[in-house]
Structure 1
Amino acid sequence: MRGNRKVRLLIGAGIVLFAVIKYCSSAETNPYTGEKQHIALNEEQEIVLGLQAAPQMAQQHGGLYPNENYQAFVDQVGNRLVNNSIAKQTGYRYEFHLLADKNTINAFALPGGQIFITYALFSKLKNEDQLAGVLGHEIGHVVGRHSAERMANQGLMEGILNGVAVGIDPNTAQGAAAIGQMLNMSYGREDELQSDDLGVKFMMDSNYNPEEMIGVMEILKDAAGPNRTPERMSTHPDPENRVEKIKESIEKYRNQ
């Protein structure tokens, strides 16, 4: 029995060590943000992954909204943000999609530049600047390479959990998984704040009013209602905290 336990420990330790080495070897500096990150994909792989996933994501939200003028407006604002910011320096293929979903107030980005906004959110926006705030935030996720970074973090966590389950105890692995989930939520909140910061910069580079992003936060706050998930249990910061950070970003870039 002791021999079997020792073998399991060695195998488990090997799995963990491999995961850690793989994670550490993925470190690189994002040339557009200057941030050191652990990245699971290169830019070309991000583009391919985003293009492959885009049709399914659109289908989950009822397909594309059937209004060419609205779609052209979204394209116009999105392309203006890209063409006037560091986003243009990247190798990503930015494409903007207005989804038919009239119930889910949301916008999101896939790796490589595929960006979506639901009609439910689009219809709540009061002006072009607010649309620029939404799209600028999502472009920030792409430039920040947040999806590729989360995939690297997830790969590390899965490797550690598998090693613990093999070498020690599946129940211990479950406890570690809960801790890992909380860490991933924290990473998610940091990504959102960085995307807000980049979105402000992109708006200002494109001569949009960045203060209109605060109005977007009010829309998101109202949509969440009084029973919204507490910040510590969510991948998104509370809208009120985001407003304070957005105001700080506006002052920072105005003073540059």
Structure 2
Amino acid sequence: MKISKAAFIIIPIIAIAAISSLFIFRKKQINPQTGKAQAISLSPEQEVNLGIECAPQLVAEFGGLFRDRLLQEKIKRIGRKLVATSSAGKSPYQFDFHILADSQSVSIFALPGGQIFMTSGLFKNLKTDNELAGVLSHEIGHVIGRHASEKILRRSFLDMPGDTNQVTRINYTARQTAKYLKDFTALTYDREDEIEADDLGIQYMVRAGFDPKSLVSVLQTIKENTDMAAKHPVTTDRIEKINNSIQKFQN
């Protein structure tokens, strides 16, 4: 039987897809905080290590840290309160909170393991401590939900089919962290990720004594920024679910 040139191209693609699906299925873990089964190859300890190793490069890419000690202390104080008063404080993650110097970008990044970075461009758009708590609690939710780690697994396997264990190593090379950060900063969260992070974030805000309705006003700020809205889509049903979460956790 003669095999066409197209088949020589299609068959390997199908084979890679099948192997990818098998690999992802075998990497399933139960998230102890959410109870969800997720396709993640990293252990929580490896997530912490990866985040810490990537942090300096992320800081450098956004112009260093913001040079205002009082504001840096403020974001740490609010972030740590959200963690300490919630189930996030019982997780293995090492949360820390930072403001980046970049005033042009309106962005926030939650690296796996708990390192959270907000640009000063976003910080200056937040009017109250409650709004700051809303943004941070949502990002803590992404870390606890292990959303970035779940998505990067698929990219890592498909981009490096000959070295599927590369992303699970404890010590990462500069090339590996650079590649990871490139993938990470390009990530967009889907509807399910955002809703789960919102739900967790509302829970954290209520327990820490912040006004959870502030998350809705923050989403309006995000919606008005094209770049951030592309990464964190704001939809009508998302707002409705946030209001449902507020009722659930305040009652």
Q: TM-score, normalised by structure 2?
A: 0.80
Does the aligned pair in 2 maintain the 1:64–1:100 contact within 8 Å? yes
Q: Aligned with 2:34: secondary structure?
A: coil
CA distance in 1, matches of 2:39, 2:239: 28
Gaps of 5+ in 1: 161-183
Quickly say closer, same or farther: Cα 1:211–1:13, change in 2 above 3 A: closer
Task: Find the counterpart in structure 1 of residue 81 from structure 2.
Answer: 80
Could you list the per-position Cα deviations for residues 79-136 of structure 1 after superposition, in whole angstroms to 9, with x for gaps in the alignment? Answer: 0001011111111111111111111112120111110111111112111111110110
Task: Find the counterpart in structure 1 of residue 2 from structure 2.
Answer: 2
Name which of 234, 243, 249 aligns with 2:245.
Answer: 249
Name which of 209, 214, 229 aligns with 1:212.
Answer: 214
What amino acid sits opposite 2:17 in the alignment? V
Over aligned residue pairs, what C-alpha RMSD do you find? Answer: 2.7
Does the aligned pair in 2 maintain the 1:41–1:148 contact within 8 Å? yes
Q: TM-score, normalised by structure 1?
A: 0.78
Task: Find the counterpart in structure 2 of residue 170 from structure 1.
Answer: none
The Cα shift of 1:22 comes to: 1.0
Larger RCO (CA under 8 A, 6+ residues apart): 1
**Pairs within 5 Å for 1:6-85:** 14-85=15-86
**Pairs within 5 Å for 1:97-246:** 97-155=98-156, 188-224=190-226, 234-238=230-234, 240-246=236-242
Q: After alignment, is 246-255 or 28-37 more displaced?
A: 246-255
Aligned length: 225
Q: After alignment, is 24-33 or 240-249 more displaced?
A: 240-249
Does the aligned pair in 2 maintain the 1:47–1:113 contact within 8 Å? yes
Quickly say closer, same or farther: Cα 1:8–1:237, change in 2 above 3 A: closer
Identity of aligned residues (%): 37
What amino acid sits opposite 2:72 in the alignment? Q
CA distance in 2, matches of 1:10, 1:101: 46
Gaps of 5+ in 2: 162-186
